[in-house]
Amino acid sequence: GAGVSQSPSNKVTEKGKDVELRCDPISGHTALYWYRQSLGQGLEFLIYFQGNSAPDKSGLPSDRFSAERTGGSVSTLTIQRTQQEDSAVYLCASSRKYSNQPQHFGDGTRLSIL
Amino acid sequence: GENVEQHPSTLSVQEGDSAVIKCTYSDSASNYFPWYKQELGKGPQLIIDIRSNVGEKKDQRIAVTLNKTAKHFSLHITETQPEDSAVYFCAAGEHQGGSEKLVFGKGTKLTVNP
């Protein structure tokens, strides 16, 4: 079946511009996560959505970062006024509703800020 | 919050040898420990996971062991093949205030030499 789909796969933009990254989770998965992976580093949690519950935004690094999930499915991560330190791979994962379910990742969006 | 340490950061083995990667975690409340394999340009792929009610789990050439008392868990790959070359990440599932996320180690780059 279809896995987690992310778009675009690559994004190059100038410092100061806004960017939107999209994630389509696996059908039927109610939990959705965003992580950030800087060059040669592990994955850093950004935000967690579970059904209609309020999202856990505790991992967002600044108020320039925001995310939404419409209709309990597709999610967008928005970065406003991008900075060079925002350059990274942004990964989305989804899982079933229940606790400790495997998270399945997309291939990410590689974001480069010039 | 949870903290995961992973060692070694790089590992080089000869084809057919075994490879072992070790991780420690800090939060005794964590009870889910997945391992991911990441190839260049791809998202992390779940290869095996273990829950805290078992001490060992095996899937063909891959096994994971968990020592809850010592708060460490390990990945064992036997009869390594060149296609096992990738970056491997351990993670611990953290639950806090109705939210859950994975806390990742910084990764181990495994090279299997033919």
What pLDDT was estimated at residue B94?
A: 80
Structure-block tokens of residue B35: 């391992």
Contact list in A for residue B36 (CB cut-off 8 A) is 105
Question: Average pLDDT, stretch A53-77?
Answer: 92
Q: Quote the pLDDT of residue B43.
A: 95
- Average pLDDT for B97-104: 81
Of A55, A34, A32, A31, give the one whose Cα is nearest residue A46: A34
Please state, in angstroms and rounded to a whole number, the distance separating the CA atoms of residues A81 and A86: 10
Contact B107 A91 (CB under 8 A): no
- Per-residue pLDDT, averaged over A61-81, amounts to 94
Q: Does B99 have pLDDT greater than 80?
A: no
With a pLDDT cut of 70, the percent of chain A lying above it is 98
Q: Check pLDDT > 90 for residue A82.
A: yes
How many residues can be counted in chain A? 114
Looking at residues A48-64, what average pLDDT do you find?
91
pLDDT digits (tens, 9 = 90+) for B27-72: 998 989 999 999 999 999 999 999 888 899 999 999 999 999 999 9
What is the mean predicted confidence (pLDDT) over A64-92?
Answer: 95
Rounded Cα distance between B114 and B99, Å, is: 44
Closest to B85 measured CA to CA, from B9, B15, B23: B15
Percent of chain B with pLDDT over 90: 82
- Residue A1: its pLDDT value, please? 57
Contact list in B for residue A32 (CB cut-off 8 A) is none
Tell whether the model's pLDDT for residue A100 goes beyond 80.
no
Q: B91 pLDDT exceeds 60?
A: yes
Q: Residues of A97-114 as b/e, b for ≥16 C-beta within 10 angstroms?
A: eeebbebbbbbbbbbebe
Residue that the structure tokens 């779940």 belong to: B46
Rounded to whole angstroms, how far apart are CA atoms A11 and A35? 17
Query: What is the band of B20 on the pLDDT scale with cuts at 50, 70, 90?
Result: very high
**Chain A (47-106) residues lying within 8 Å, Cβ to Cβ, of chain B:** 48, 50, 53, 56, 58-59, 91, 99-100, 102-106
User: Of all residues in chain A, what percent carry a pLDDT higher than 90?
Assistant: 78
